Structure 1
Amino acid sequence: MSLIASSLTFMKTPLTAKLNTQLKLFKIKVKQNTMHTLNSILRMRRDIMKLLIIHPHLSIIGGSERLTQILVYELEKKRKNIEILVLTGSRNKELFPETSKIKFKLFKEAPVKAKNLRIKKLINAFLTLSEVMDDFCPDAVLTMIQEPIYLVLSKIVKPSIGTAI
């Protein structure tokens, strides 16, 4: 096939000239279609809102856990272009199931030696948030409990991120 195509390009007949023109137009059209497809994919990707929701524990159900549940699953129903990552220390899988748009990640337990348990938790939260910011690239961070340390750490990792309690 390539031998035929290359021999056609060297022949100087009206038919081969027309075929060469059509071949060039076809290549241009393929390039345009490829670029259009890539741009569509990129545009779709930009249209997806990525939301990181932080709640330190979702295994025992109280008021803030119930609000988290309502928010997460209602956002999934109402917005077609959303991805939600819920960062937590524990989770009740029956009450908080993963879906195609909702994923859960547990805080890391890094092998950090610290005498103070709070310092160890702070380091673990920072390391986990650093990893999540790199991998998930959220557009905004929302904490579902009044523990602003998670938002402070989010701002340290990514100063431009929008945050809210």
Structure 2
Amino acid sequence: MAAIAELPFPKSKKGMQAFLGALNYYNRFIQDMAVYGAVLYQLKDDDFGQGGDLTAAKVAFAELKKRVADAPTLRHFDAAREVHVMLFANEWALSSTLLQPHEEKLHPVRFCGRVLKANELGYHPAEKEVLAFATSTEDLPYSSRRKDAPHLH
């Protein structure tokens, strides 16, 4: 993790793709990775040339490095415990966090997120949040899904 924190901002699109590829494994451990990663995935070769504005990309890059270093320890999902879901959606990405109570505090058990597809970009914000919720439960093993609905936050 210390090595990632020391990485300089990439000088090319290929360098940025290598950085994002290295973080791909950590997607489920970094809250809102899709939100910050979307800014970086949209970069073009021209953005790295003279006159390219990399301000937002540099902020997203620094935030991702910080989040990798500060990533919380996820708890194991427990089907017997209550599930809380925090949703987030913006113009180009969505994310959700599944939380469960442990020691009287809510702890993350899973982070989910992705960039919106072209046909989803025009969705109403409420529809994007429903999509974020659906994405958050998609990959859970069938045996861990509960019959009672999670608490939305």
* Both proteins in one fold, TM over 0.5: no
- TM-score for the superposition, normalised by structure 2: 0.27
- TM-score for the superposition, normalised by structure 1: 0.26
More helix by share: 1
Greater relative contact order, per chain length (Cα 8 Å cut-off, separation 6+): 2
- Over alpha carbons, which structure has the higher Rg? 1
